[in-house]
Amino acid sequence: MPSVGSLFWWQGKLDSAQESLLIIKTRALLLPEIVNLVKGVHSYEVPEIIAMPIMGGNEDYLKWIDSEVKE
């Protein structure tokens, strides 16, 4: 998503920024590699990198993700 307005506390002050939101769909096993990659190229000192579990969804889609994301 190319433009997301964010409000956040940074170094004791309320700050704001227009940011891009990147969503990566992958396996949990690959998360450490992705965290290192994003931290290496991101301009922020502390970039937001979070992982969320898939609780359910379209089984056909979930099978497709599983078949396409290699370990």
Domain locations in the chain as residue ranges: 23-71
pLDDT in tens, 41-65: 999 999 999 999 999 999 999 999 8
Q: Report the chain's terminal Cα–Cα distance, integer Å.
A: 26
Its pTM stands at: 0.76
Cβ–Cβ under 8 Å, residues 28 and 20: no
- Given a cut of 90, is residue 4 above it in pLDDT? yes
In CATH, the architecture of 23-71 is 2-Layer Sandwich (3.30)
